[in-house]
Chain A
Amino acid sequence: MTRERRTALLATLTGLAAALIAFDLLVWGYGESPRAMVALLLEGTWGTAYGAGQVLFKATPLLFTGVAVDLGLRAGLFNIGAEGQLAMASLLAATLGARLPPGTPALLGVPLVLSTAMAAGAAWAAVPALLRTRFGAHEVISTIMMNKIAEAFVGAAFVYGFAQAGTMRTPDVVAGARVPRLEVLFGALRGSAASFALVLAVACAIVFGWAMRRTRAGREIGLLGMNPTACRAEHVPVGRRLAQALVVSGAVAGLAAAGTVLGYKGYYEAGLGAGAGFGGIAVALLGRGSAVGLVLAALFFGTLAQGGLAINAHVPMEVMDVLQGVVIVAVALADARVRAALAGLVPKGRPA
């Protein structure tokens, strides 16, 4: 095991330990038994085939957005706009999916709606990309603003003709544009909403992990994240690579609609998939730039999301959102400490 790997592993374990401690404290503060709640959480997630299926279902959009945010991070970009990119992708994919002729074959329908979702996510990310490369506007502020504008746009779209009459949701997507549930292949998962979108998400994680190492664009994006000045000196097209990273990131975030709209509800309503964009940040920061890491991180946060529902009758499930923040800080802090200790760069007066 390389030193780099060991550092990453140690930081990740610290993050998980911090999450457990924070969970125990919050549950205890709420007046419930931490041990009983952990037991309940495990039982409601990995304890049954249905629970496990639900974890996979919750992990699916998180894996897409996690891969998306990770892609940006490699270029040194914080794409915290996955939330809005996903909302726009969901709206447009669901709308197109509902307008297709009823007999559309799945071989045509599914790729069509998925590429629509990618295009919509990419287009929504293209605005911050342009603002960043042309005007130097920091993507953290602009992507958040794009989230808010997407929210407004979706609201207006539902009022002006995108919604089924009398409802606040899009019409049902035709059968040929839906992503089938995993239960058609694995009978044990019956009833859970896990779909083949999960397979697509895992494939995305693997393909992008490979592309980052093996393609020119991927390599340059990765180098850009480490040292933009050196890249500029080496005539790497910095602006173009930054924009590409953010736009592709938006496209992948948009694909998360496969797990929510196409694999689960079969239509889009405001709030469907909400939180996946921010959850993706936690997944990316815990997954630390490896396909395996991202999948495991998505499963971890998927477990928390489903586990939150399992304990909701006793402790508010919002406790899990707090844990996202705790994990992020703990991992980053542990990582910095371990690195400093290894490099002998521990600040004065502070023991390693």
Chain B
Amino acid sequence: MSALTAIVSMTMLAQTLRMSVPYTCAALGGVWSERSGVINIALEGMLLSAGLASVVVHVATGSPWLGVAGGAAAGALLGLVHASCVRGRVDAIISGLAVNLAAAGGTRFLLRALYDSASNSPPIEGFRLSVGGGASGARLLVRTLVDPLTLLALAAVLGTAWLMYRTRFGLRVRASGEDPEAAASVGVPVERIRLGAVGLGGAICGLGGAALAFDQHQFQSGMSGGRGFIALAAVVLSGWRPGRAALACVLFAALDSLQIVLQQETRLPHDLVGALPYAATLLALVVMGRRVQKAGLGARPPAGLGKHA
């Protein structure tokens, strides 16, 4: 099969969709957090911890659903820790770095403590889907489309958009992020709203971690591989809007699957091709910077980002 037919194929489409799930969930976590005014670089650590948590719960209970819930819970917990630190006036970037460092070390510690392995967990089954085996592109696409985690991610996009723009909670989140002092002065409990928003975002990000682990049918040390930061770039690129953030994530996922196809089908250097999503992220930041400098096309970050009431 030539590289081109491999790129323009159902398999590629399915791959892209599958890979966009962790990115999208992490980006939604970033949107919730930053729209409420809390800078969040802890997405990476949340993805990683949630991945392990989902596997641990899945292995312990045998239920993939409980595993997903465990991942979401781990993400929410880290979100609450991060938001609490920021509330205690810790610099949000320092707090995020600490979460990431502790998550990277903590997951490896737990891997060894629970499964006596430095690199990966025992295999898990994940969701059993009855659409038949085989590797044909169409089947793969259908299987991705009916995968509960894909559907959960889609629900999270729609739910986030609805909650953020159509409900009182969403309005309060946005108010806390735009101008915490003004919001506080009209009675919005800014600190509590932020805890809620970052916690909710953490839970959604946790779904992404679970998707990452379920996709590989195991947890691997360091398996988030910078996706939390790429998702954050997608948030910036989207102008902190959930729908566009999801679209940006699909774009990054497409690059990710393109990279895999190029590694399999061409003789380009594997490692360099593997760096494609990272280079694209840098490019996205440049494009974004240009746009903001020229016209500020709705790309403004929340005005109260990083400010306290």
A interface with B by C-beta (< 8 Å): 26, 30, 78, 80, 127, 131, 134-138, 140-142, 144-149, 151-156, 159-160, 278, 281-282, 285, 316, 318-326, 328-329, 332-333, 336-337, 339-340
**What are 5 inter-chain pairs, A to B, with CB distance below 8 A?**
A149-B275, A152-B272, A318-B108, A322-B105, A329-B95
* One of A151, A156, A332 near B269 (C-beta < 8 A): A156
Q: Given contacts A135-B285, A156-B272, A322-B102, is CB(A316)–CB(B293) below 8 Å? A: no
Across the interface, do B286 and A152 meet the contact criterion of CB distance under 8 Å? no
Known contacts A152-B271, A336-B90; is-contact A137 B289 (Cβ 8 Å): yes
Do A142 and B282 have beta carbons less than 8 Å apart? yes
**A321 near B109: Cβ-Cβ < 8 Å:** yes
Contact A137 B288 (CB under 8 A): yes
B289 and A282 contacting across the interface, CB-CB below 8 Å = no
CB closest chain-A residue, reference B225:
A148
Contacts of A26 in B (CB 8 A): 109
Q: When the two chains form their complex, are residues B105 and A337 in contact, meaning their CB atoms are under 8 A apart?
A: no
Residues of chain A within 8 A (CB-CB) of B290 are 135
**B98 within 8 Å of A (CB atoms):** yes
Distance between Cα atoms of A30 and B125 in the complex (Å):
27
How far is the CB of B264 from the nearest CB of chain A, in Å? 17
CA–CA, A48 and B177, complex, Å: 54
Q: Which residues of the partner chain A approach B90 to less than 8 Å between Cβ atoms?
A: 329, 332-333, 336
Most chain B CB atoms below 10 A, which of A30, A141, A153, A155: A141
Task: Assess whether B99 is in contact with A325, with CB atoms less than 8 Å apart.
Answer: yes
CA distance A149 to B281 in the complex (A): 11
The CB with the most chain B CB atoms within 10 A, among A80, A131, A147, A318, is that of A318
Given contacts A152-B272, A333-B90, list 18 more A-B pairs with CB under 8 A. A131-B289, A137-B282, A137-B288, A141-B285, A145-B230, A152-B274, A159-B269, A159-B271, A278-B104, A316-B113, A318-B108, A319-B105, A325-B97, A325-B103, A329-B85, A332-B98, A337-B88, A337-B89
B265 within 8 A of A: no
Chain B interface residue count, Cβ-Cβ cutoff 8 angstroms? 47
Cβ-closest chain B residue relative to A148: B278
Given contacts A318-B112, A325-B105, A332-B85, contact A141 B94 (CB under 8 A): no
A323 and B105 alpha carbons, distance in the complex (Å): 9
Whether the pair A136, B94 counts as a contact (CB closer than 8 A) is no
A336 to B88, CA, bound (A): 7
- Give complex CA distance A144, B233 in Å: 11
Residue of B88, B101, B109, B285 with highest tally of chain A CB at under 10 A: B101
Number of A-B contacts (CB under 8 A): 148
Cα(A164)–Cα(B249), bound, Å: 40
Give chain B residues whose Cβ lies under 8 Å from the Cβ of A78.
93, 97
Closest CB-CB distance, B112 to chain A, in whole Å?
4
Closest residue of B by beta carbon distance from A337: B88
Q: Which residues of A contact B275 (CB under 8 A)?
A: 148-149, 151-153
Bound CA–CA A26/B278 (angstroms) = 35
Inter-chain contacts of A153 with B (CB < 8 A): 271-272, 275
Interface string of B94-127 (1 = CB under 8 A from A): 1101111111111011001100000000000000
Contacts of B225 in A (CB 8 A): 148
Smallest CB-CB A-B distances: 3 pairs = A321-B105, A135-B289, A325-B102
A137 in complex: contacting residue of B88, B106, B230, B285, CB < 8 Å: B285
Contacts of B230 in A (CB 8 A): 145
Are A328's CB and B105's CB within 8 A? no
Would you call A320 and B105 a contact (CB within 8 A)? yes
Whether the Cβ atoms of B98 and A329 lie closer than 8 Å is yes
Chain B residue nearest to A330 (CB atoms) is B98
- B113 and A144 contact, CB distance less than 8 A: no
| Chain B hits for A144, CB < 8 A | 226, 229
1/0 per residue, CB under 8 A from A, across B213-240: the answer is: 0000000000001100110110010000
Given known contacts A80-B97, A318-B105, A332-B94, A145 and B226 CB-to-CB distance under 8 angstroms: yes
Counting chain B CB atoms within 10 Å of each CB, the highest count among A30, A151, A316 belongs to: A316
**CB-nearest residue of chain B relative to A137?**
B285
> From residue B128, how far is it (CB to closest CB) to chain A in Å?
33
Chain B residue contacts of A80, Cβ below 8 A: 97
The docked-state distance in angstroms from the alpha carbon of A323 to that of B101 is 9
Q: Report which of A131, A154, A326 forms a contact with B286, defined as CB distance below 8 A.
A: A131
Is B101 touching A134 in the complex (CB atoms < 8 A)? no
Residues of B within 8 Å of A319, CB to CB, are: 105, 109
Complex contact B269–A160 (CB within 8 A) = yes
Q: CA–CA, A42 to B152, complex, Å?
A: 49
Q: Kindly provide the distance from the CB of B109 to the nearest chain A CB, expressed in whole angstroms.
A: 4
A residues less than 8 Å from B285 (CB atoms): 131, 135, 137-138, 141-142
CA distance A149 to B288 in the complex (A): 20
> Is the CB–CB distance between A141 and B271 below 8 Å?
no
CB closest chain-B residue, reference A135? B289
Is A148's CB under 8 angstroms from B226's CB? yes
Q: How far is the CA of A48 from the CA of B63 in the complex (A)?
A: 50
Q: Which residues of A contact B226 (CB under 8 A)?
A: 144-145, 147-148
Given the contacts A153-B272, A153-B275, A159-B271, A141 and B288 also touching, CB distance less than 8 Å: no
Count chain B CB atoms within 10 A of each CB in A26, A154, A323, A333 and give the residue with the most.
Answer: A333
| Interfacial chain B residues near A285, Cβ < 8 Å | 94
Q: Does B53 contact A (CB under 8 A)?
A: no
A325/B98 in contact, CB under 8 A: yes
Bound CA–CA A12/B39 (angstroms):
25
